[in-house]
């Protein structure tokens, strides 16, 4: 079969207006169904004619998935809330700026106007071997082209790999990990809540998925607990271009401080693994410590413990170290 990377192949389009209907449609179509949030990742797959669902279930008409509201503890964000709405939301900005900051680093204004928080964190990896439709592990094959000795892997992982070396591309994912966000996932019969950290999975868990979501699961809501409201935040994303670019490395950190001393911390890095990496060891190091340059340097060093670069991405080690160092330094 010859390859052509143009024109979306035919599908049936469903536009349910309730979560229940969406779940029913998802159950009915199973693996042949495709859940569409903002669609920006989906259309790429469709136009490349690599993913060819028979049924597309568009969540855009489900009001209950849209919007930000005050919860019992913090904020409740519908999975279909656009990134622009998050960027502009008053309470997000005043209490959880880390999330607004991360969301504002996504791609472009048009994409933020259409892309959703749920979609942003559920998007697939941008490994160019995988996105080109090659039969790699993640695509159900039996090799990883990106880890081959000659491979082009400047943008790939230095840690957390297991056969697959692709990275998670989401800008908001590390912020949600750092904010201890809770993800509500609904299936047809049950509903579960996951810690953000557990929502993102690595290839060791399931090489074909980036998140805990399986066919039939719907991410409906992201809760931001008040635990980290008004903490000291640090977000930085390094990319090649100022817009429409995925991170080379990004860091999202939240600190509770007393003067110069870090009382509690969450630090997550993305772009270095198939999932946003929470740096527990760095957190343990800095909690209770007074911030000085020596601490920042040590934090940066610990951050890349155990990482192993590929042929073209050794730079991600110092880049990660330096970003973590800056995050810690920012407290002082």
Which residues between 270 and 299 bind another protein (CB under 8 A)? Answer: none
Q: Decide if residue 101 touches another protein (CB under 8 A).
A: no
Are 228 and 196 within 8 A, CB to CB? no
Task: List the x/- string, 7-46, binding to another protein by CB under 8 A.
Answer: xxxxxxxxxxxx--xx-xx-xx----------xx--xx-x
The only residue of 30, 63, 94, 113 in contact with another protein, by rule CB under 8 A: 113
Residue in the structure block whose two tokens are 């000085």: 292
Q: Decide if residue 191 touches another protein (CB under 8 A).
A: no
* Cα–Cα nearest to 74, from 93, 86, 91, 89: 91
Q: Decide if residue 188 touches another protein (CB under 8 A).
A: no
Specify the residue, 151 or 201, whose C-beta has the smaller distance to another protein: 151
Specify the residue, 53 or 202, whose C-beta has the smaller distance to another protein: 53
Q: Give the C-alpha separation, 149 to 21, whole Å.
A: 48
Beta bridge partners of 68: 77
Q: Decide if residue 141 touches another protein (CB under 8 A).
A: no
* Cα–Cα nearest to 244, from 102, 106, 44, 113: 106
The only residue of 77, 136, 181, 323 in contact with another protein, by rule CB under 8 A: 323
Number of residues that bind another protein (CB under 8 A): 78
* Residues contacting residue 147 through CB under 8 Å, at least 6 positions apart: 153, 156, 161, 165, 310
Q: Decide if residue 215 touches another protein (CB under 8 A).
A: no
Q: Give the C-alpha separation, 301 to 318, whole Å.
A: 9
The only residue of 54, 64, 227, 264 in contact with another protein, by rule CB under 8 A: 54
Specify the residue, 198 or 314, whose C-beta has the smaller distance to another protein: 314
Q: How many other CB atoms are found less than 10 A from the CB of residue 206? A: 13
Residues 218-237 that bind another protein (CB under 8 A): 236
């Amino acid at each position: 079969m010859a390859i052509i990377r143009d024109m979306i192949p035919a599908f049936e389009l469903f536009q349910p207006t309730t979560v229940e209907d969406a779940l029913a449609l998802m159950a009915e179509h199973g693996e042949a169904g495709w859940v569409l949030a903002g669609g920006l990742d989906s259309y790429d797959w469709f136009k490349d004619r690599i993913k060819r669902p028979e049924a597309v279930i568009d969540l855009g008409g489900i009001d209950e998935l849209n919007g930000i509201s005050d919860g019992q503890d913090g904020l409740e964000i519908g999975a279909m809330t656009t990134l622009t709405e998050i960027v502009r939301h008053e309470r997000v900005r005043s209490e959880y700026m880390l999330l607004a900051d991360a969301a504002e680093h996504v791609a472009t204004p048009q994409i933020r106007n259409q892309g959703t928080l749920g979609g942003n964190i559920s998007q697939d990896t941008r490994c160019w071997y995988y996105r080109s439709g090659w039969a790699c592990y993640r695509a159900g094959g039996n090799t990883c082209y990106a880890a081959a000795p000659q491979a082009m892997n400047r943008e790939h992982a230095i840690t957390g790999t297991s056969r697959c070396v692709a990275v998670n591309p989401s800008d908001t994912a590390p912020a949600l990990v750092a904010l201890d966000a809770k993800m509500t996932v609904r299936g047809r019969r049950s509903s579960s809540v996951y810690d953000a950290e557990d929502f993102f999975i690595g290839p060791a868990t399931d090489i074909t998925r980036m998140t805990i979501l399986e066919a039939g699961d719907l991410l409906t809501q992201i809760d931001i607990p008040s635990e980290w409201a008004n903490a000291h935040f640090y977000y930085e994303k390094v990319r090649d271009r100022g817009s429409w670019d995925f991170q080379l490395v990004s860091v999202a950190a939240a600190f509770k401080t007393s003067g110069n001393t870090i009382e509690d911390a969450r630090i997550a890095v993305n772009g270095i693994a198939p999932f946003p990496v929470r740096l527990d060891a760095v957190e343990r190091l800095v909690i209770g410590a007074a911030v000085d340059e020596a601490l920042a340097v040590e934090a940066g060093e610990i951050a890349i413990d155990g990482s192993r670069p590929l042929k073209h991405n050794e730079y991600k080690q110092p880049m990660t170290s330096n970003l973590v160092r800056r995050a810690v330094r920012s407290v002082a």
